[in-house]
Structure formats: C-alpha cells, structure tokens
C-alpha cells in the first residue's frame, strides 16, 4: 500500500481499508465486474482499489491524442511555476465548485489545484465541469503521483465512446442533466418532489444541485463506493444514487421543519452528515432498487432536454430563469384553475416543457361543446394540457404528450396513441397526480354507437420512413412512440380519440372518458393502490379547457 499513500492522511481515512486483505481482480466480464463493484469488493483494500481504478480507466476508449503522465511532467512547471499550490486560482469552468479535501494530506490538497490547471491547459474545449475537482481529489487518493492522477482524469474526460457518458463538460450538458434528473424525480420520487414544490420557489434550482450532492458533499467513503460502480456502469449510476439520496432526505426529514430558510442548504447538510442516517451499503441498495429507465431511454431524454435548451438559446451559463414561476400571474387567466394550481401542474410536467408559457387553445365557454372543434383547436400542438371542471365543482385533468392529429392513423376507428409521459391528475377536492398506465380495457369506453370490433390499438409496426434522420429528434418509447419501429406488444395506448369519444388512460387504474358533446364524462377506477378516484364515476362538465405550451 506504500506506493499509493503519498497523498493520503491516514488519520482521516477509514481504518478498515488499511487492514482488510482482498485478492487481485482477475475477471473481465462486465456482469461479474458489475456485481463485484456493487458489492464493494475492491472497497475493502486501498491498494486493490487503486489497481482496479487504473485497470478500468485504462480500458476507457479515448481520443487518439490523450494527454498522459509524460505530458503532465512536461507542462506542470510552466503552468504552476513557483506559486504556492494551495492558493492557485481555479479555471472558470469549475464554477466556484467545492474542492473537497476528503482524506488528502496537505500535499494532496495542493496537488488537486495543480492537476486541474494542467487539465484546463490541455482541454480548451471544456467550458463547464463542476464535478472535476471532486474527481481529481478522489483519484489522487489512489494514484502513485500527480502525473498518474492527471493521466487517469484525462482519459475520463477524453472518452470518445458515444454510448458511454462520463463527466459533463459543457453547460448545455450539465443543465440538461439537471432537467433530466428533475424528470426522473417527478416519476420516481413523487413524495419528495411534492415536498420540493411546497418548500421551494424554483424546483429546478434545487435539482440543479444533484451533482454537487455526489461530487462535493458526500463523504469520502460514500463517493468512493459510488465511483467504484460508476467506472463500471457509467452515468446512470449517478442518477440512481442522487434519487436515493432524495428519497432518504424525504424519509428522514418528512414532517420536520426545515433547518434553514433554503431546502437546498438542508439537502446539502443532510448529504454531508449522511452517515448519521444511512450507511454506504444501504444507500447503494436503495439506489439499485429503483426500477429506472434503460440507459438508452435516459440518453434520449437527455438529448430531448438539450434540444429544448438549444431552442431557447440556453447553451452557456447565465442567470437562471425561475422555471417554477414560468406561469406569470399577469398573463394567465383560466375559469378552472388558479395561478397557484397551474404552477403546481407545471411542476409535474417534463422539464423541457416547463421552460414554456401556457397558452389557452380551447375553452367550451368560448368555442362551444363540439368535439370536432376541440380537435381543430388542439391539433398541431404537442404537448397539451386538458382541464375539466364538473358541475359538482370537481377539478381534474390530463397532461397529453402527443398531438391529437395522431388519432387519424386509425381512420374512423378508435385509435390509441400517446406516450408514457401522459398522466392524469385531480386538483379538487384534493390534489393527486396519477402515474400513467396503458389503457388495458378499451372496451370500458365503448358506447352503443361504437361497436367493439372498431377498437383498434395504435399501429403495430411503424414504417421505417417515420424514423427521423436527426438523432436528437428520436425519443424513446417512453417519450415518443411514433419515432420507433415498435412491435404490437409495445404499442402505445395512453390516449384515444374518434368522432364519438375521447379516452385518456391514467395511472393506478384510472381512465377518463368524454362523450362527443363534451357535456358528459365518466371514469373507471381499479383501486390498484386504494387511491381516491379521479372524480365522480359519472359527471357533467361545467367547463373544459385545453392549454398548449408557448415559447
């Protein structure tokens, strides 16, 4: 262990890694490496972890010309000179990030700054990389010298495998990852998300801290365990662990008053002191218990968020728009919901659309109760928001991810379409958002005028010509089913429309059905989780509104 301890303050280090023996790692199969990483196999011995890191990082596919240890030795004196390393200024792209010391000694703390400055010299294309100080500081614990640490970090930064995302190096990539994390929280941590909405003016501002929780606030023993798995499995692991942190924060702090005026500060403090609540093993166990989207789906969601930011012109760091207040009180008027209620709905929608303003497209008070008029005003807009107020003063609605013009694919038949981002919700008498489910029983919606054999799910297989050439337009089946050649078993069944009726599949067994005259509706409810129904089983519509999203 002597060759890897020159930067380590062993008084701060976990003593268990000094004494436990572990065999050398000989496996190369991904599944076995994945299992060993999750189990913490090389976390038991400092020297073994150093060797494993070296092996894993050396296998990262990189650019042809990637700076190595010899480059560092050549440039470090020219860049650093005789300046005191502990006071060296950091490049702007780390964005005043925390420079964690973890278990480094004084020499190691100074070396972190030297290495970062040399990396900045060799990677002029990096414009925003707040995780870099933490990555350098962590790897320095497991490096023989500064040059070796420099080379390992450079290989991570120079990875050229398009399917292997490692560290964000631009503001666009970072900001889109924050939006993606917000989308994942909205789906997988709904209780925590509800708390964030209640205590924070800008939810995305809170979620933009997610990388700081990992690369800055997490104690050494935790981030090292996360990094073990990250080097094997990639970026998705970071989302998993951040979601687990938020789940534990909500569990520990639920019902307790905030310790400061800022939930951001409270989460940071919780993560710094996470050892009081959760062990590293329990944190990872929770992280891997989350049934997350596939790596491809997350990548495509991130691409969609990047595209939304580019369309808004948000590609470099700037003063953040208060996304949660995107619904401006002076420009918003609805006969169904208040500004506050619309802001609550806005906190549920995908982050890339939360950048937009609501725009009223259709209201029965102005346009009448005609289904054909409903379609004519709604078509050409994607996504849309449906709001309904009943004569019993119940208020419910649905977020609809797909253009209603898709219904024409089935001709005169009742055709199903839409994506997994659809959801239904209730605002009155109580607020409840229902996670989506596929419409499993379309026959529930059949009226006497619509024979059963006219029910036709969305197309079984889309033609290859429908797949756009631009990969940034290509969304996952969760996001946009029409962009993929899908077999019938994965055909989307979240929305349905014909000249006779509208059906919207909700979550937890909820489904909403509206008659052609838009005066009457009904719901089906399977009591999957004993949730309250969306609204009365049969209801009269007082007002119906459709809202679009304006840039």
Mean pLDDT over 196-201 rounds to 84
Min mean pLDDT across 7-21, 328-342, 391-405, 479-493 is at: 479-493
- Bigger pLDDT: 16 or 213? 213
- At residue 441, the pLDDT reads 38
Task: Check residue 24 and report its DSSP letter.
Answer: P
| 426: in domain | yes
Do 181 and 264 reside in the same domain of the chain?
yes
- At residue 509, the pLDDT reads 55
Mean pLDDT over 61-81 rounds to 93
Do 116 and 90 reside in the same domain of the chain?
yes
- At residue 163, the pLDDT reads 79
Q: Is pLDDT at 493 greater than 80 in this prediction? A: no
Residue 251 has phi, psi (to 5 degrees) of -65, -45
Cis upstream peptide for 86 (omega within 30°): no
Do 295 and 413 reside in the same domain of the chain?
no
What is the bridge-based pairing of β-strands 538-550 and 384-390?
antiparallel
| 468: in domain | no
Do 140 and 182 reside in the same domain of the chain?
no
Do 396 and 521 reside in the same domain of the chain?
yes
| 251: in domain | yes
pLDDT-derived band at 532 (thresholds 50, 70, 90) equals: low
Do 114 and 184 reside in the same domain of the chain?
no
Mean pLDDT over 65-73 rounds to 95
Which CATH number belongs to the domain containing residue 259 in this structure? Answer: 1.10.472.80
Residue 91, by phi and psi: left (phi above 0), alpha (psi -120 to 50) or beta? Answer: beta
Task: Spell out the residues 6+ positions from residue 86 whose beta carbon is closer than 8 angstroms to its own.
Answer: 106, 109, 110, 113
In the block, tokens 């003593």 appear at: 15
Min mean pLDDT across 173-187, 196-210, 278-292, 406-420 is at: 406-420
Mean pLDDT over 163-183 rounds to 92
Do 395 and 434 reside in the same domain of the chain?
yes
Mean pLDDT over 246-270 rounds to 86
Do 516 and 435 reside in the same domain of the chain?
yes
User: What mean pLDDT, rounded, does the chain reach?
Assistant: 81
Do 182 and 303 reside in the same domain of the chain?
yes
- Bigger pLDDT: 442 or 281? 281
Mean pLDDT over 521-535 rounds to 60
What is the bridge-based pairing of β-strands 538-550 and 357-363?
antiparallel
- At residue 505, the pLDDT reads 74
- Bigger pLDDT: 337 or 419? 337
- Bigger pLDDT: 453 or 104? 104
Cis upstream peptide for 383 (omega within 30°): yes
- At residue 371, the pLDDT reads 92
Do 20 and 71 reside in the same domain of the chain?
yes
Task: Check residue 212 and report its DSSP letter.
Answer: H
Q: What is the pLDDT of residues 367-419, one digit of tens each?
A: 999 999 999 999 999 999 999 999 999 999 999 988 999 888 777 777 778 88
Q: State which of 294, 312, 330 marks the end of a domain.
A: 312
Do 56 and 85 reside in the same domain of the chain?
yes
**104: its two tokens:** 């480094």
| 470: in domain | no
- Bigger pLDDT: 400 or 449? 400
| 350: in domain | yes
Q: Is pLDDT at 87 greater than 50 in this prediction? A: yes
Helix (H, G, I), strand (E, B) or coil at 541: strand
Query: From CA 169, how far away is CA 136, in angstroms rounded?
Result: 14
- At residue 227, the pLDDT reads 97
Find residue 504's DSSP bridge partners: 495, 512
Task: Check residue 331 and report its DSSP letter.
Answer: G
| 522: in domain | yes
Q: Please tell me which of 80-89, 236-245, 341-350 the model is most confident about, judged by mean pLDDT.
A: 236-245
Cβ-contact 169, 128 below 8 angstroms: yes
Mean pLDDT over 359-374 rounds to 94
- At residue 373, the pLDDT reads 95
Find residue 547's DSSP bridge partners: 360, 385
- At residue 230, the pLDDT reads 96
| 473: in domain | no
Min mean pLDDT across 45-49, 193-197, 200-204, 444-448 is at: 444-448
Query: How far is CA 19 from its chain centroid?
Result: 39
Q: Please tell me which of 131-145, 154-168, 292-306, 350-364 the model is most confident about, judged by mean pLDDT.
A: 131-145
- In the chain, % of residues over pLDDT 90: 47
Domain that holds residue 535: 339-443+489-550
Do 184 and 143 reside in the same domain of the chain?
no
| 435: in domain | yes
C-beta pairs of 439-444 under 8 Å, 24+ apart in sequence: 439/493, 439/494, 439/496, 439/503, 439/505, 439/511, 440/493, 440/505, 441/511, 441/524, 442/414, 442/416, 442/493, 442/496, 442/503, 444/511, 444/513, 444/524
Q: Is pLDDT at 110 greater than 50 in this prediction? A: yes
Q: Is pLDDT at 277 greater than 70 in this prediction? A: yes
**Structurally, how many domains does the chain consist of?**
3
- At residue 466, the pLDDT reads 32
Mean pLDDT over 183-212 rounds to 89
């Amino acid at each position: 262990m002597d060759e890897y301890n020159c930067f380590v303050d062993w008084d701060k280090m976990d003593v268990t890694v000094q004494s436990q023996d572990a065999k050398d790692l000989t496996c190369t199969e991904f599944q076995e490496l994945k299992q060993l990483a999750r189990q913490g196999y090389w976390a038991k011995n400092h020297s073994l972890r150093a060797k494993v890191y070296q092996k894993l990082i050396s296998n990262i596919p990189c650019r042809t010309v990637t700076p190595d240890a010899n480059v560092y030795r050549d440039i470090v004196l020219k860049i650093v000179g005789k300046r005191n390393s502990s006071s060296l200024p950091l490049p702007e792209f780390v964005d005043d990030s925390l420079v964690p010391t973890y278990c480094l000694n004084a020499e190691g703390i100074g070396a972190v700054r030297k290495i970062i400055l040399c990396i900045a010299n060799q990677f002029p294309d990096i414009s925003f990389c707040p995780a870099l100080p933490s990555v350098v500081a962590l790897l320095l614990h497991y490096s023989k010298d500064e040059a070796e640490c420099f080379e390992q970090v450079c290989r991570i930064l120079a990875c050229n495998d398009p399917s292997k995302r490692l560290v964000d190096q631009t503001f666009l990539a970072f900001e889109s990852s924050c939006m993606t994390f917000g989308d994942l929280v909205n789906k997988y941590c709904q209780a925590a998300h509800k708390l964030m909405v209640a205590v924070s003016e800008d939810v995305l501002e809170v979620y933009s801290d997610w990388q700081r929780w990992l690369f800055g606030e997490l104690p050494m023993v935790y981030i090292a365990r996360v990094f073990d798995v990250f080097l094997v499995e990639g970026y998705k692991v970071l989302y998993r662990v951040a979601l687990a942190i938020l789940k534990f924060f909500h569990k520990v702090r639920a019902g307790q008053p905030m310790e400061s005026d800022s939930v951001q500060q409270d989460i940071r403090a919780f993560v710094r002191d996470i050892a009081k609540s959760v062990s590293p093993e329990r944190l990872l166990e929770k992280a891997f218990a989350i049934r997350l989207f596939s790596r491809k789906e997350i990548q495509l969601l991130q691409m969609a968020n990047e595209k939304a930011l580019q369309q808004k012109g948000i590609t470099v760091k700037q003063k953040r728009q208060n996304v949660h207040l995107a619904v401006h009180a002076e420009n918003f008027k609805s006969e169904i919901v208040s500004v506050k209620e619309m802001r609550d709905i806005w906190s549920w929608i995908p982050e890339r659309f939360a950048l937009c303003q609501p725009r009223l497209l259709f209201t029965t008070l102005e346009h009448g109760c005609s289904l054909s008029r409903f379609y004519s005003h709604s078509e050409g807009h994607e996504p849309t928001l449906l709001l309904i107020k009943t004569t019993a003063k119940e208020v419910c609605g649905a977020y609809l991810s797909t253009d209603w013009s898709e219904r024409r694919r089935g001709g005169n038949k009742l055709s199903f379409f839409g994506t997994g981002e659809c959801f239904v919700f209730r605002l009155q008498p109580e607020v409840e958002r229902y996670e989506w489910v596929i419409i499993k029983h379309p026959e529930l919606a059949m009226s006497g005028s619509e024979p059963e054999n006219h029910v036709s799910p969305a197309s079984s297989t889309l033609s290859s010509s429908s797949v756009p050439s631009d990969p940034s337009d290509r969304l996952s089946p969760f996001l946009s089913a029409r962009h993929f050649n899908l077999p019938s078993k994965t055909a989307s069944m979240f929305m349905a429309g014909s000249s006779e009726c509208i059906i919207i599949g909700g979550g937890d067994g909820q489904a909403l059905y509206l008659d052609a005259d838009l005066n009457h509706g009904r719901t089906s409810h399977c009591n999957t989780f004993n949730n309250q129904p969306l609204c009365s089983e049969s209801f009269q519509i007082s007002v119906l509104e459709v809202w679009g999203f304006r840039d």
